[in-house]
Amino acid sequence: MKSDHVEDATYLAGLVATGAASPDELLDEALARVAALNPALNAVVMVQEATARAAIKAGLPDGPFKGVPFLIKDLGAEAIDFPSNSGSHLLRDTKYDYDSTIFTRMRATGVVTFGRTTSPEGGIGPVTEAAVYGGPTRNPWDVRRTSGGSSGGAGAAVAAGIVPIAHGSDGGGSVRIPASSCGLFGFKATRARFPDGPASGEGWAGMAIDGFLSRTVRDNATMIDACVGADSGAPYVAPAMEMSFSDAIARPPRPLRIGVCDTTFTGDAIHPECQTAVHKTAKLLEDMGHHIVPALPAADHSGMMAAWTKIVACGTALWINATLEAKGRGFQQGDVQGVAESALRLADGITGAEYLAAVNMVHAYGRQMAAAFDDYDILLSATLAEPPAPVGRFTHDRDDYEAYRVGAGGVFEYSPFCAVFNASGQPAATVPMHWTEDGLPVGVHLAAAYGADATLIGVCSQLEAAAPWAHRQPQMLEKYQANQHSG
């Protein structure tokens, strides 16, 4: 049965604060949903109920999400109490002797972390189909479709109502792709807005960043506010915010110039449903008083993606080689899946000078995109070039990493918008503004100038108020709730 209110993290924390529910009761319900829904999804892994119960018993921090069940991605967010696979057999059950700064800050909000969510091996790809989990992660709206990647487990878990918000990360769209695929809100902040320490100073030459997938904008804003800020020793920091994210969603932005692109950024056609989502959203923004202008950002998009592909290949080689060195052995067939192995081979042929040239290309691209934003405050496009792909289309069991990314029918054709803003470092978000006749969610993508996170999330909040989406639920969740009610 549908609720007459949105049970987001803010709402659940309110129940705990008033005594209407206890953290243990909310954890009971989250675990019951894992038992009932996760077998069809394969989204939640490494469940540690005892760790979660112990945290509740010890006393939770008095943060904004005190008592709310929470999941962290099985990639990054290193934590002493939560071993990780990072989507790979080679890294199975990796244990940590430290807590990452991002995990420490998430925990301080009072959330009850009880497990991890699936990720593709090494975080590469727009789907989550890692062999270490025994099968693909599926979309709650249609289990024949992907939930996206690389935060695909997080997207599926939030869309299925297992948790109201989950941790993710985004190096080429890995928060926004699954959020779009699963009908959720996902926000990628300006480069270096979140801490990367103590394990590293940056990920993928600064293109990777943590983030969150949520049902509501307010939950995302609250969690971002709790986690932003450089950690000690960070190599660089994001520009200072003019206001908090939570303040930004409470203050409607001034009338803005909205650049609208209903093709790819190179002018190629996108799926009609994605184009419809863009047009609907543009009309809504115009009705709000924003000024709509056509846009096609002039930048070397194909050159950037070629550079992105080299940088990520080198990042893949780094973790594979470091793991093998720690294990004291050489590479063995079957250590990693085909996409990661072929990325390793590509990296072996990239010289140091070629790697630095790729980084320079990405930096030059950021300047090109900054110039494009001289003409508008927000750039609106689709998030993906088509609705969520069928499971298996972007399987990692293939031996052609470079073609997988930038070849015909590859990832960049499917997701031509997201990695753009990892390369440029600009803030970007996906907002669930459209559903197809078959019930598949289609997100729209909004990006702002470097450092203008407050403006961007303010526009997202405006859209949420004008066309609410959080009441929409997949049938599997509705059936579960109906069974609970009848029982």
Over residues 389-402, the pLDDT tens digits come to 999 999 999 999 99
Please name each of the domains of the chain with its CATH number. Answer: 9-486 (3.90.1300.10)
246 has catalytic annotation: no
Query: Are the C-beta atoms of residues 454 and 448 closer than 8 Å to each other?
Result: no
Q: For position 1, what pLDDT does the model report?
A: 33
**426 pLDDT more than 80:** yes
**433 pLDDT more than 60:** yes
**156 pLDDT more than 90:** yes
Q: For position 310, what pLDDT does the model report?
A: 98
For residues 243-271, one letter each, b for 16 or more C-beta atoms within 10 angstroms of the residue's C-beta and e for the rest, the string is ebbbebbeeebeebebbbbbbbbeeeebe
pLDDT tens for residues 159-207? 999 999 999 999 999 999 999 999 999 999 999 999 999 999 999 999 9
Residue 343: phi and psi, rounded to 5, are -65, -40
Q: Are strands 209-214 and 165-170 parallel, antiparallel or unpaired?
A: antiparallel
| pLDDT confidence tier of residue 252, bands split at 50, 70 and 90 | confident
**4 pLDDT more than 60:** no
327 has catalytic annotation: no
In percent, the amount of the chain with pLDDT more than 70 equals 99
**87 pLDDT more than 80:** yes
What's the average model confidence in pLDDT over 134-147? 98
Token pair 């961007």 is found at: 456
Rounded to two decimals, what is the model's pTM?
A: 0.98
Structure tokens given for 411: 């990832």
Structure tokens given for 226: 């709790």
State the catalytic residue, choosing from 84, 86, 88, 150: 150
Structure tokens given for 36: 């009932």
- CA torsion through residues 111, 116, 118, 121, sign: positive
pLDDT tens for residues 333-390? 999 999 999 999 999 999 999 999 999 999 999 999 999 999 999 999 999 999 999 9
Query: Are the C-beta atoms of residues 162 and 44 closer than 8 Å to each other?
Result: yes
| pLDDT confidence tier of residue 5, bands split at 50, 70 and 90 | confident
d(CA 436, CA 257): 28
H runs (alpha helix) in 334-486 = 338-348, 352-372, 401-406, 411-414, 418-424, 453-466, 475-486
Query: Are the C-beta atoms of residues 106 and 113 closer than 8 Å to each other?
Result: yes
| pLDDT confidence tier of residue 241, bands split at 50, 70 and 90 | very high
Pick from 423, 479, 25, 353: nearest CA to 206: 423
Q: What is the dihedral of CA 250, 251, 255, 260, to 10 degrees?
A: -30
d(CA 319, CA 197): 16
What's the average model confidence in pLDDT over 67-90? 98
**2 pLDDT more than 50:** no
d(CA 95, CA 292): 51
**438 pLDDT more than 60:** yes
73 has catalytic annotation: yes
- Could you tell me how many residues make up the chain? 487
State the catalytic residue, choosing from 88, 169, 174, 381: 174
**3 pLDDT more than 70:** no
Query: Are the C-beta atoms of residues 136 and 146 closer than 8 Å to each other?
Result: yes
In percent, the amount of the chain with pLDDT more than 90 equals 97
Token pair 């989550």 is found at: 128
Q: For position 487, what pLDDT does the model report?
A: 62
3-state secondary structure of 231: coil
